[in-house]
């Protein structure tokens, strides 16, 4: 082989080696992947948990992800979605550090899902807490009476139309619904006590439904430290023992859609519209 051919072969080999290194650096578990921190965003009214649940599950299984930051911008929502994200976050926190970063509001269901995190970081002015359950019913029977409109119902059991807006709620129905609220409230309190490693009685004393600022929540033990998103990233980096500039790997982002294309993240302000057809039993802050 001539000297010229040898140099060409060496150049090709070097190019292949560089390409291989770049490919490895971009794949999960690759060279640069050793500094990756996963990011999951939970925004708006909590009605569909699948995107966040899938993202947390993927990040937990990805060996190249050393820590996870969950950004929460939510006033809460339905009970089961809040619990599903909570459970997946807890499973992930058992494997690698999970830091929750609270934005403008992370309350009720938004706080429920955050409770099992390794650390919770909130801005001083974040609206959080609101540990409680609310069950709302509309009543239109008074208006219908004035209009002379009557409704009839055929049902299989005494409670089948409980909560109907077309008649006053009975004492028995109120007792049944109160029992439902009390049971889910107990689940909420237990989740906070377990996740925050707090005495249950202490949590109960804080759980009258009120909203706390981030600074108040820190003093009460509901939040670990004050700061923004990048402070949460720095905390995750420290907990994972990473050095240098971490690479953020965003997962589970919302799909585009026309509104998000036009409004960007401001489209999240329309999240309350998603709750119109949702059920009445919720972990949310009314009005947010």
Determine whether 178 is exposed, middle or buried from the number of CB atoms within 10 Å of its CB (0-12, 13-18, 19+): exposed
What is the per-residue pLDDT for 150? 85
Among residues 74, 82, 101, 108, the one annotated as catalytic is: 108
Catalytic residue list contains 25: no
What span, in angstroms and rounded, lies between the C-alpha atoms of 92 and 66? Answer: 11
- The domain locations on the chain are 33-284
Q: Token pair 């794949």 is at which residue?
A: 27
Q: Is 253 a catalytic residue?
A: no
Among candidate residues 61, 136, 155, 160, the one labeled active-site is 160
The rounded average pLDDT for each run of 10 residues, N- to C-terminus, in the chain (288 residues) is 60 61 48 76 95 97 96 96 98 98 97 98 97 89 84 89 87 94 97 98 97 98 98 97 92 57 51 50 66
CATH tag, 33-284: 3.90.226.10
pLDDT (0 to 100) of residue 256 = 45
Residue 81's pLDDT is what? 96
Q: Which residues pair with 105 in a beta bridge?
A: 127
Rounded-to-integer distance, Cα 35 and Cα 67, Å: 9
Task: Quote the pLDDT of residue 14.
Answer: 60
pLDDT value of residue 149: 87
Looking at the DSSP bridge assignments, the partners of residue 284 are 76
- Give the Cα separation of 67 and 235 in Å (integer): 10
């Amino acid at each position: 082989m001539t000297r010229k051919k040898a140099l060409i072969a060496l150049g090709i080999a070097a190019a292949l080696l560089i390409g291989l290194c770049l490919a490895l650096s971009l794949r999960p578990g690759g060279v640069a992947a050793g500094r990756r921190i996963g990011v999951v965003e939970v925004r708006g009214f909590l009605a569909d948990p699948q995107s966040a649940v899938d993202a947390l599950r993927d990040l937990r299984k990805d060996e190249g992800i050393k820590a996870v930051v969950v950004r929460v911008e939510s006033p809460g929502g339905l009970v089961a979605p809040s619990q599903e994200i909570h459970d997946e976050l807890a499973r992930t926190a058992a494997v690698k550090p999970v830091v929750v970063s609270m934005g403008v509001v992370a309350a009720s269901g938004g706080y429920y899902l955050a409770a099992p995190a390794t650390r919770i970081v909130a801005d001083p002015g974040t609206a959080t807490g609101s540990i409680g359950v609310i069950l709302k019913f509309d009543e239109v029977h008074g208006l219908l009476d004035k209009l002379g409109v009557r409704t009839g119902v055929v049902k299989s059991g005494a409670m089948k139309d409980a909560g109907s807006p077309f008649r006053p709620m009975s004492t028995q129905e109120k007792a049944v619904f109160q029992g439902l609220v009390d049971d889910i409230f107990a689940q909420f309190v237990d989740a906070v006590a377990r996740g925050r490693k707090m005495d249950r009685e202490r949590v109960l004393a804080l759980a009258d439904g009120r909203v706390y600022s981030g600074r108040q929540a820190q003093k009460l033990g509901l939040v670990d430290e004050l700061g923004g998103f990048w402070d949460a990233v720095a905390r995750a980096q420290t907990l994972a023992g990473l050095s240098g500039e971490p690479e953020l790997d965003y997962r589970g982002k919302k799909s585009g859609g026309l509104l998000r294309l036009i409004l960007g993240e401001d489209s999240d302000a329309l999240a309350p519209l998603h709750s119109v057809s949702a059920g009445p039993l919720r972990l949310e802050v009314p009005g947010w």
